[in-house]
Every structure is written in C-alpha cells, then in structure tokens.
Copies of this chain bind each other. A is one copy, B any other.
Amino acid sequence: MIGIFDSGIGGLTVVRAFMEQMPGYDIVYFGDTARTPYGNKSPETVVKYALENTDFLLSKGAKIIVMACNTASSVATEKMAERFDVPIFEVITPAVELAIKTSGKSGIGVIGTMATINSGIYEKKIKQANPDARVYSFPCPLLVPLVEEGWLNKPETRMIVKKYLHPLKVRQINTLILGCTHYPILKKIIQQKIGKRVNIIDSSIAVVGKVKAFLENHVEVDSMLYKKGECRFFVSDVTEQFKKTAKDILKRTVILEHVRI
C-alpha cells in the first residue's frame, strides 16, 4: 500500500488529495503526534524521526513512501534515499515544478515552518529550475499551532496571517507556495490576505500528481499496491483534539490507532 507520514495530522491534507485524485488505493498513514511539531526542531532530530517513521510504515506493508511533511522533506530526503530501497516522494519538488510553470517572470513566495525556510530548499530548487527566478521565503511558525488549536477563522488568526504575508504582499509575487501541509487548511484566509490574483500552490495536491504519474510509468510498482480503498491511520499519541482535527480535514470520522515508535 501507499505509506504516508507527517509530523502530526497536517499530512492528512495529503491523504485527502490521494482520496480525491487516486481513489481506491490502500493507504497506511503515520502521524507522529507524540513528537509533533517538527518545524521548530533541528535537522538532525527531524532526520532521525523521518527514518524511524519510515521503518514503521514499511513494517506495515508500505511499498512506496510519501513524506507528507515539508519539514521532513526539506532536511531528510537525501538520508531517506540512502537508507531505503522503495520509491520515496517528498512534497517540495512537485510544488516547485508547478510554481515554475505558473510564475512566468513574476516573483514566487514561499511560506513554511522555521526549519523548512531555514533549510533554503525551496529557493535552491526553484533557482536550479530557473536561475532568474525571484524567490521570497518567510517562516510562519504560529500557523501550525493555530490550525491544531482549531482557530481556523478567528480574527486573531486573520491578523497573524496578514502580518506574516505582509512582506510578500509588497514584493509583487504572482505565485505562493504553501510549504507546509497544515497551511491548505487556512487556504481561504491566505488567499484573501495575499490577494485574488496570486496563484496558490498546494503541495499536498502537487505531490499526488507526481505519484500518479510515477505509477503510470512503473506498473511493476503499481501492481504491488492494494486497491481495496482501505485506509489505516496510526499515530504516536491520541488526543481528542487530534481526532477532531482529523475529522475536520477528512470530513469523516477517523479511527486513530495508537502505536509506540
């Protein structure tokens, strides 16, 4: 089946995108809710967690791995490729490719956690594809706690989003990458504050397109994946808030299975 992990439950936006774009594929999800968030932790620690999470998903029968977490994708991709033989997908390259297509000569904005932005990965990948691109990256550390708290439409959330986006607003971007799988949950507010004319790239949707294209070209991998439409959701910690947010994201009640990593 398709193995997906995230630092917590933000990665369920990726599961949602899989359910919409590739319905029927079995999924095993792991959310590292006992150690969440990753975004304010060091690269060494995040790499260690990414490797442990992948070991767990492989033990559950995953044949391909999707890192549904920008922080892990930004610091652990190389180490993951060294360590594991299965196909591994990260959420950064697909978003960058989409952004390059749509941005033309205008600037590209990137928002993400402190760890993702400090890694400089988006800027590096965009410049590799287009050395003339103008890229403006800003960390938005409070957005993950705001989403986890369920403050999705409060005035304080709107003010904080506005404050974070202000430096992008004045730089005439036409494309904004949501470099964190929690942020699609705030997409409406982000669109309002950055302006209607800015094209928002949702990395959760972008990565599914990438997996789909890969499987069409690799039928030997595709044939190993079960397609009974079954999903299992494992988490390293269970709380009422996680259950509620999971339900909000997937629009259905989700059974969270507790596992010690």
* A2 shortest CB reach to chain B, Å: 27
Residue A97, interface by CB 8 Å: no
Residue A141, interface by CB 8 Å: yes
* A82 shortest CB reach to chain B, Å: 20
Q: Are A237 and B41 in contact (CB under 8 A)?
A: yes
A residues 169-183 touching B (CB-CB < 8 Å): none
Residue A222, interface by CB 8 Å: no
Residue A84, interface by CB 8 Å: no
Residue A133, interface by CB 8 Å: no
CB neighbours of A148 from chain B (8 A) = 40, 141
Per-position 1/0 for A150-175, Cβ under 8 A of B: 01000110011001000000000000
A residues 191-244 touching B (CB-CB < 8 Å): 236-239, 241
CB neighbours of A41 from chain B (8 A) = 33-34, 237, 239
Which of B142, B163, B236, B237 interacts with A145 by CB under 8 Å?
B142
A residues 1-60 touching B (CB-CB < 8 Å): 33-35, 40-42, 44-45
| Contact-residue bracket for chain A | 20 to 34
* A256 shortest CB reach to chain B, Å: 11
* A165 shortest CB reach to chain B, Å: 14
Which of B35, B114, B149 interacts with A142 by CB under 8 Å?
B149
Which of B141, B149, B159, B160 interacts with A141 by CB under 8 Å?
B149
CB neighbours of A185 from chain B (8 A) = none
Which of B34, B145, B159, B237 interacts with A156 by CB under 8 Å?
B159
A44 to B34, CA, bound (A): 10
A40 to B35, CA, bound (A): 10
- Who on chain B is nearest to A162 by CB? B156
A148 to B241, CA, bound (A): 21
Residue in A145, A149, A159 with the greatest tally of chain B CB atoms within 10 Å: A145
Give the top 3 A-B pairs by smallest Cβ distance, nearest first.
Answer: A145-B145, A45-B237, A34-B45
Could you list which residues of chain A lie within 8 angstroms of chain B, going by C-beta atoms?
Answer: 33-35, 40-42, 44-45, 114, 141-142, 145-146, 148-149, 151, 155-156, 159-160, 163, 236-239, 241
In addition to A142-B142, A155-B159, 14 A-B residue pairs with Cβ atoms within 8 Å of each other are A35-B35, A40-B239, A41-B237, A41-B239, A42-B237, A44-B237, A45-B237, A114-B239, A141-B145, A141-B149, A142-B151, A145-B145, A156-B159, A156-B160
